[in-house]
Amino acid sequence: MSEPCKKMTLPGLFKKAAEGKPITWLTCYDYPTAYLQEQAGVDMILVGDSLGMTMLGYDSTLPVTMDDMIRHTAAVRRGSPNAWIVGDMPYMSYQPSVETAIRNAGRFMAETGCDSIKLEGGAAMADRIKGIVDAGIPAIGHLGLTPQSVSALGGFRVQGKGAAAAKKIVDDAKALEEAGAFMILLELVPDRLCQLITEQAKNCLIMSLGSGPHAHGQLLIYHDAFALYPKFKPRMAKVFADAGAVIREGLNGYVKEVTEKTFPASENWFGMADDEYDELLKTI
């Protein structure tokens, strides 16, 4: 029998990192998947605004609302009482002002029971991080490829390849740590840059998404890792199991069996006693 899951805490995350054990982090957007991820022992779950693309079929994350995020994050919490759950602040839920950021971060905590929030951006967003942390909410920064700014960044591409761009990411990471972020996600930056920032971080955990192995842990988008997003597979993502193929095969089987009338079989329905049925016939 597997060990009962223990609630992941902030000291628990720092302890793992201090012991040199990589932190495991996946995105998740629904109750049954959260249940499975917790059973697998995933440390952290990100209810990402990537759900706009993976679950709602938009072309970007920009149309996602706070109400979308609240509904999905609460479902994930119900499926995983013990993983450290991160609510991802959607587009324009924190950019307008510090007060907007604190109010929406507070909604996440109060209405979903998540453990922390994440928002995108560097030094320009440090005051939002500080405001949220001062309000007692653990906050995570997100640098490198930040999908809410994909238009300004020139598309989904590696960030910080040149020295000047890399220096800006180093400075942004410092600003977020000084503002109180307990964790920073580096998405799609060169491995050496990720390593440098991880080595310089004092009281902040650094996580990698496509940024190499030299971080305190790894994040993957669940739909990329299990071949569930039909539009494309990012180069840096590894497919751990082709769940899409398994589901497709099952769907083909369902359509075939219903069409050929081999489903349902007798074990798939419930009968009625003869006397009850005769009684019914008399009444109609």
Task: For helices 126-134 and 163-179, give the axis angle rounded to 10 degrees.
Answer: 20
Letters for 5-44 (x = contact with ligand KIV by CB under 6 A, - = none) are ----------------------x-----------------
User: What is d(CA 248, CA 245) in angstroms, rounded to the nearest whole number?
Assistant: 5
Instruction: Tell which positions 124-143 bind ligand KIV, by CB under 6 A.
Output: none
Assign residue 37 a region (left: φ > 0; alpha: ψ between -120 and 50; beta: otherwise). Answer: alpha
Token pair, residue 140, equals 């995570």
Residue type, 62: L
Neighbours of 16 (CB within 10 A): 18
Instruction: Tell which positions 210-249 bind ligand KIV, by CB under 6 A.
Output: 221
Nearest to 170 by CA among 192, 202, 143, 197: 197
Of the candidates 38, 120, 177, 187, the residue annotated as catalytic is 187
Q: Between 26 and 201, name the residue whose CB sits nearer to ligand KIV.
A: 26
Letters for 162-201 (x = contact with ligand KIV by CB under 6 A, - = none) are -----------------------x-x--------------
Q: What is the CA radius of gyration of the chain?
A: 23
Q: Between 140 and 258, name the residue whose CB sits nearer to ligand KIV.
A: 140
For residue 59, the Cα-to-chain-centroid distance in whole angstroms is 17
Instruction: Tell which positions 59-88 bind ligand KIV, by CB under 6 A.
Output: 88
Q: Between 88 and 172, name the residue whose CB sits nearer to ligand KIV.
A: 88
Query: Of the ranges 31-39, 47-55, 74-82, 263-271, which one interacts with ligand KIV (CB under 6 A)?
Result: 47-55
Maximum Cα–Cα distance across the chain = 87
Asked if 147 interacts with ligand KIV (CB under 6 A), we say yes
In the block, tokens 């909410």 appear at: 137
Token pair, residue 52, equals 């706009």
In the block, tokens 């739909």 appear at: 223
Among 8, 26, 44, 46, binds ligand KIV (CB under 6 A): 46
Please name the residue ranges forming H helices in 201-242. Answer: 222-225
Query: Of the ranges 46-54, 65-73, 131-139, 230-238, which one interacts with ligand KIV (CB under 6 A)?
Result: 46-54
- Total residues contacting ligand KIV by CB under 6 A comes to 11
Please name the residue ranges forming H helices in 24-114. Answer: 31-40, 51-54, 66-79, 98-112
Asked if 50 interacts with ligand KIV (CB under 6 A), we say yes
Active site residue 249: no
Q: Between 37 and 270, name the residue whose CB sits nearer to ligand KIV.
A: 37
Q: How far is the CB of 118 from ligand KIV (least distance, A)?
A: 7
Q: Which residues bind ligand KIV (CB under 6 A)?
A: 27, 46, 48-50, 88, 147, 185, 187, 209, 221
Instruction: List residues with catalytic annotation.
Output: 187
